[in-house]
Amino acid sequence: MYMQVFQGHVADEQRLRDCLDQWTRDVRPDATGYLGATWGFSDDGTFVAMVRFDSEESARRNSERPEQGRWWAEAEQCFDGEVTFMDCPDVSEWLGGPSNKAGYVQVMEGHSPDIDRLRAIMNEEGQRMHELRPEIIGGTLARYGDDGYIEAVYFTSEAEAREHERLQIPASWKPAMDEERRLMGDVRYLDLHRPLAMS
């Protein structure tokens, strides 16, 4: 799996929403290798989109389509600054992966000294965490550059996520959780309160 991520501060949210509706209706149907996307707006006005393809070649072919270029020429006018793009050739899913049923998605962005170990911990702990916190229904971890990562965690609702984050974690989990926090480093959080996920 391959993921393209782009994000930026939005000047005109409604206009961008209209552009996204237009992409879904007119551009997406002919996107070769398209697997799904998750996007939304955070509290500070940042828009983030995570678009999944079956391969880098499919993603590149989609980016080169004239209709995709025309769509982006319109969409980028909705931002009031630089839009950052991240190409992620190494993507993994845990639990159910991205979910169209998610009512809340938390996106975490950072740099890790060992993304492979971070992924292993998430895979090992994912099912166990779901049993303790059933509102966690899936997640993705994508690598970009040498040590950058984008993680997205999908929840049934934000209310349940906030309630259950206060739960006491079993003492036996502490070593793995401490190691995970260390490997995640300094994290930037983007809370998508009304995400749109399309698979």
What DSSP character marks residue 117?
H
Tell me the average pLDDT across 36-63: 96
Structure-block tokens of residue 127: 């099912």
What's the topology of domain 90-198?
Alpha-Beta Plaits (3.30.70)
pLDDT in tens, 136-173: 999 999 999 999 999 999 999 999 999 988 888 889 88
Q: CA torsion, points 31, 151, 9, 32, in degrees to nearest 10? A: 0
Q: Do domains 2-88 and 90-198 have the same CATH topology?
A: yes
CB atoms within 10 A of CB 85: 12
- pLDDT at position 132: 87
CB atoms within 10 A of CB 161: 20
Decide: 20 and 39 in contact? Cβ < 8 Å. yes
Q: Which segment of 8-22, 118-132, 184-198 scores lowest on mean pLDDT? A: 118-132
Share of the chain above pLDDT 70, in %: 100
Give domain limits for the chain.
2-88, 90-198
pLDDT of 182 higher than 90: yes
Query: In 3D, which of 75, 146, 155, 72 has the Cα closest to residue 107?
Result: 155
pLDDT of 26 higher than 90: yes
Q: How far apart are CA 147 and CA 181, in angstroms?
A: 15
Q: How far apart are CA 70 and CA 22, in angstroms?
A: 11
**pLDDT, greater one: 168 or 113:** 113
pLDDT in tens, 67-82: 999 999 999 999 999 9
pTM metric for this prediction = 0.93
CB atoms within 10 A of CB 23: 20
DSSP-assigned beta bridge partners for residue 192: 105
194 three-class SS:
coil
**122: pLDDT confidence band, cut at 50, 70 and 90?**
confident
User: How far from chain centre, in Å, is Cα 148?
Assistant: 13
CATH 3.30.70.100 fits domain 2-88: yes
Q: How far apart are CA 197 and CA 52, in angstroms?
A: 11
